[in-house]
Structure 1
Amino acid sequence: MRDGDPGDRADPLWQALALLRPRLPRLLLAIALGVGSLGSALALAGVSAWLIARAWQMPPILDLSVAVVAVRAFGISRGVLHYCERLVSHDEALTGASNARAQTYRRLVARPAALRVSGGELAGRVGADVDELSEVLVRAVLPIAVAAVLSVAAVGAIALISPVVAAVLAICLLVAGMLAPWLAARGAAAAELSARERHADRDEAAVLALRHGPELRVAGRLPGLIAQTRARQRDWGAELDRAAAPASLGAAAPTLALGAAVLAAAVVGIGLSPTLDAPILAILMLLPLSSFEATTALPAAAVQLTRSRIAARRLLELTGNPRAPEPAGRLRRASSELVPRPSNPPVDRPPGPEPDGVDLRADNLCSGFPGASGGFSGSLDVAAGARVAVTGPSGAGKTALLLTLAGLIPPQQGCVTVGGVALSNLNEAQLRSRIGYFAEDAHIFETTVRDNLLVVRGDCADAELQEALRRVGLGEWLAGLPGGLGTVLTGGASAVSAGQRRRLLLARALCSRAPVLLLDEPTEHLDIGDAEPVLDELLRVGGLFGPERTVVVATHHLPAGFAGQRIRVPG
């Protein structure tokens, strides 16, 4: 977000709660069960103190029967209610994590290349950061709410006996419940942020080693990268240890406050001993011990708030603010690389006006990523059914142009329309039903061949899938698989060669019903002898795709005799 935007001043944790979609009734139920559990502990302390002191006076046994039953009831209910609270709160946390991860994926699908972050960092954000965000409900919100209710109840109960002790207890509870957590959170914030960056560095190195292991081994760099990953793992652990040190100081404060409250109760109790009955005096002196049970979790809750807020900020950098339309802006990574964030992403937007046809047009267009050199500048007109080749040197901005035409990143200048309607006015369903973008490095999932093709359109019949594979040159490969379309590609992309992967991605494009297809380097990893015929089929009207479909291909070279439209990205 730009400096000075209102979103900068809003708490990212509050904004990211929309990703969790917490269920208020379930959360209130968890808080009620938590209050009941620790309230039973508080009542157990008071009734036990009364029972011990009253039994010392040797009254008739019937005078103690109600207290004896109450002690048993509170002892049992404490454990039962605590177990129920764990069930409800963890169910809510797991559901929230599932919601946050699903919404994060959904928003990233709308702009898969909008954020140029590495695979390791992306995995860390949608993995560990979502977990940290979801834990705010169990480890922060719930303990804070329970401690607030029980602290008020404990002070109110003591005030009925001694207002002086109640005042001291209130001050000590404020120290344990507010000052100590604030110190813990303030001390841990910087260290936690540094630990997050170390964690991201470790993930980046690990993913790089896993993804390019064979090439790195041939180059002799794999052992060094593994050693670097281990070093980053140790650095991450050291940062976590440093982050825990301030929390330990904050955790000590409630113990000191507890000692002060008990000491004050003892001193006042001694002074009131001539006027108070022994059972009441025992309650006055022992009840503060249980009053601090709820506050002992607050320093850890404050640290969890810090961790969750950092995680929320990192997730919002990926997804934008899910509570409001997202302003155009930029995301600055730890490496200071500037990357764009699309304005007005078409997620969950009401349908816009229906385009009249699928002609792609742009006037005074300037595409590219902010801070990056090169890019396309000018106007273009791609008629329905055209075959267009986007050429230019590596890094010139061919991919950025395709992403702009697909509506996945905003143009730096100008406007792209399809059928006379600006892409920014269409929602996700309208956009994807007309324009399909197929990336050069699209993911191959570790599942069946069938499922890897169905990701583009779920209603394809097996016959259609088989025909698509045959047309891209994978017919013999499919026939040689033990399970045909049901064969699991163990290891994902590592289960196929680079050329087979490229053809498999082309088969996905064949299964798509989008009338406009944007293909990024579709023959990049094919042999020279195979790339030429495939590229010719792609760019020939009536070739691999029907004449009614528009095909825009980003490529480094053109097939012989190509007479279609050409867009040059100079770089």
Structure 2
Amino acid sequence: MADAIASAAEPGAVPRKRVVPPGRRQERVLLTAAALLRPRLRRLLAAIALGVLSLSSALALAGVSAWLITRAWQMPPVLDLSIAVVAVRTFAISRGVLHYCERLATHSTALGAASTVRTQIYRRLASGPAATAARLPSGELVARVGADVDELANVLVRAVVPIGVAGVLAVTATAVVAVISLSAGAILASCLFLAGVVAPALAAKAAASQEAMARHHHSGRDTSAMLALDYAPQLRVAGILPHVVAEAHRRQIAWGHALDAAARPAAISQAMPTAAIGISVLGAVAAGIALAPTAAPTTLAVLMLLPLSAFEATVPLPAAAVQLTRSRMAALRLLDLTTPDGVGVTGSAQPVSLPAGPGRLSADVCVGHRQTRSDLVTVDLPPGSRLAVTGPTGGGKTTLLMTLAGLLPALHGQVRLDGVALSDFDSDELHSTVSFFAEDAHLFATTVRDNLLVARGDCRDDELARALDRVGLGEWLNNLPVGLSTVLTGGAQAVSAGQRRRLLLARAVLSPARIVLLDEPTEHLEAAEAEDVLRDLLAPTSDLMTAGRTVVVATHHLPNDSGCAELRIDSA
């Protein structure tokens, strides 16, 4: 949290831009992301077919209506018009019904694909390297698994289906008009190319130039908002809560301006289909005048009205091109999230076996970020050691602990366990041996028992009760309605800040990890109680941590009589 407050105090800080790995070509990103979407091909093809049938009904409605109006002007027997009248009614009704069915099929496919993407992302985050999520601010992570997934799924509704429908309808309409007049068909084909290819290309180019900046502001806004929501009391004490709220507001306004800037060139592309319709109608009129001496009036009417319906399929294409651009950018961020660039990934083809004993943790590293970095930090922790990491807010204490746990890469140097680099171990086995316990770890809206079993799933109820008693929650447990089975409604909202801290400390006590890294374990406790807990944690004969476990604690308030080694860290 201290690092979060420090970052919040730096207005306008720009997150480090990630580089697209070589070989990942922009135009192939969506194809790669299709493995995440896994859309049901049959439903997708059914949606396109329904869309084609719907707009074909509109095209047929225009043609039959033109024939009916012109033929009725000639005043034939009523029976000669009966079939056309029925056909007009049929096409008018079927157009709406088929369009509704197409929307149902399309949205069902898109919602199913979005659910599939989120499920895969959660599974990969849960089973993959912890650094994948740890390296991102919470606001950025929320934006990726939220808005980015929606943008990726929108490619089916707003791009793939409209493009497929427009392609089929354009060929059909051009062929029908070309049968009547080759010149009118050529004009229609040119205008359809203008409305269906040139205008979308212009819209996509405009969106690509502005969407990245808009996305940056969106992510920054979410990050600032999450800071304000998660750390409001601490930020208020630090005197920077109004600044964080103002920063979120500023990001929102900047995001709106960026989106407005992206919309201006896109507006031109939206106007191009209207111009193309006008040109095609004028071309059909000219072709009709040329055919007037030899063609029937009904044929000329069909020739002039068909282009009006032919362009209905191209109207969504500029928006579809913009959606393709946005979905491609969202896919890049999601692929970056699910396939990180080596951070926390095993460095060798065959992982090294973890040491049988507690293990000696050592490091000579510079930690932090590009903007703020620490001096060289040297750590050597034999089994059973106790170390207190102190320093000012934003000095890098949390970052150092996450680096020692293998969750973040060091800017320089290496962290080793019994002389072996952490990157050479299997990540799952490593984090069961070297565990970092964050001060803002999540409490789930479930029972007290389940919230503790997160640390170790095979604990018996008596072990859980003893752990709670050791961290000072024995009386609290006894007063709960159904003990360990009591549901914490709302998660952290069901307990006080001090009780939440003690529950998180109980997880660390229950954890099987032999090296425990605790970030601010006594924050929100009363001063006297906090000092007592710290003395117990850092004592060689601790009631909370056995003598064989290595304990590292990051804290602002180290008791003078703690008697343990102290490492003071401050970012440069």
TM-score normalised according to structure 2 size: 0.80
Structure 1 residues 278 and 15, CA, compared in 2 at 3 Å: closer, same or farther?
A: same
Per-residue CA deviations over 1:290-317 (Å, capped at 9, x if unaligned) read: 1111110111222223333444445455
Q: Alpha carbons of 1:441 and 1:305: their partners in 2 closer, same or farther (altered >3 Å)?
A: same
SS in 2 for 1:373: coil
Is 1:518 paired with 2:534?
no
- In structure 2, runs of 5+ residues without a counterpart are 1-16
Match of 2:325 in 1: 306
Structure 1 partner of 2:429: 430
Question: Which letter maps to 2:304?
Answer: M
Quickly say closer, same or farther: Cα 1:21–1:421, change in 2 above 3 A. Answer: farther
Superposition deviation, residue 190 in structure 1: 4.1
Does residue 387 of structure 2 align to residue 389 of structure 1?
yes
Deviation at 1:251, TM superposition (A): 1.0
Check whether the contact 1:156–1:166 (CA below 8 A) recurs between aligned residues.
yes
Structure 1 equivalent of residue 345 of structure 2: 344
> Which residue in 1 is equivalent to 2:58?
41
Displacement of 1:63: 5.7
Change (3 A) 1:197 1:77: same
| Cα deviation digits, residues 72-106 of structure 1 (max 9, x gap) | 44333332332222222222322333344444445
1:410 aligns with 2:427: no
Normalising by structure 1, report the TM-score.
0.80
Change (3 A) 1:242 1:374: closer
* Sequence identity (%): 55
Q: 1:165 aligns with which of 172, 184, 188?
A: 184
Equivalent residue of 2:294, what SS? coil
Report the residue type matching 2:264 in the other structure.
Answer: A
CA distance, structure 1, for counterparts of residue 414 and residue 357 of structure 2: 15
The alignment status of 1:195 with 2:214, answered yes or no, reads yes
Residue 263, structure 1, aligned to residue 282, structure 2:
yes
In the alignment, which residue of structure 1 is the partner of 2:44?
27
- Where does residue 11 of structure 2 map in the other structure? none
Instruction: State the Cα deviation string for residues 416-473 of structure 1 (Å, max 9, x = none).
Output: 5668875435555434444432112223345554454344456656555444322211
Q: Aligned partners of 1:135, 1:462: CA distance in 2, in Å?
A: 47
In the TM superposition, residue 258 of structure 1 has moved relative to its aligned partner by 0.8
1:374 aligns with 2:374: yes
**Conserved 8 A contact 1:343-1:410:** yes
CA distance in 2, matches of 1:45, 1:459: 71
**Which residue, 277, 288, 305 being the options, matches 1:286?**
305
> Structure 2 CA distance, aligned partners of 1:526 and 1:255?
67
How many positions carry a matched residue from both structures? 547
Alpha-carbon shift at residue 513 of structure 1 (Å) = 3.8
1:75 aligns with 2:73: no
Paired residue secondary structure (2:543)? coil
Distance, in Å, in 2 between the alignment partners of 1:240 and 1:191 is 7
Q: Which residue of 2 aligns with 1:468?
A: 467
Q: Deviations over 1:336-369 (max 9, x none)?
A: xxxxxx26379xx999465452654567743523
Whether 2:174 is the aligned partner of 1:155: answer yes
* Matched AA of 1:475: G
User: Residue 506 of structure 2 corresponds to which residue in structure 1?
Assistant: 507
Deviation at 1:374, TM superposition (A): 1.9
Checking the alignment, whether the CA contact within 8 Å between 2:50 and 2:98 is kept in structure 1 is: yes
Give the letter for the 1:91 counterpart. S
Given the alignment of the two structures, is residue 10 of structure 1 paired with residue 26 of structure 2, yes or no?
yes
Secondary structure in structure 2 of the residue aligned to 1:293: helix
Measured in 2, the distance between the counterparts of 1:487 and 1:547 equals 33
Tell me the amino acid that sits aligned with residue 277 of structure 2.
L
Q: 1:314 to 1:522 in 2, by over 3 A?
A: same
Structure 1, 2-11 or 19-28: larger mean CA deviation: 2-11
CA RMSD, Structure 1 to Structure 2 (Å): 4.0
1:327 to 330, 341, 351: 341
C-alpha distance in 2 between matches for 1:217 and 1:380 = 37
Asked if residue 498 in structure 1 is aligned to residue 500 in structure 2, the reply is no
2:200 matched to which residue of 1? 181
3-state secondary structure, aligned to 2:110: helix
Contact 1:445 1:452 in 2 (8 A): yes
Change (3 A) 1:175 1:417: same
User: 2:358–2:548: 8 Å Cα contact kept in structure 1?
Assistant: no
C-alpha distance in structure 1 between counterparts of 2:114 and 2:446, whole Å: 24
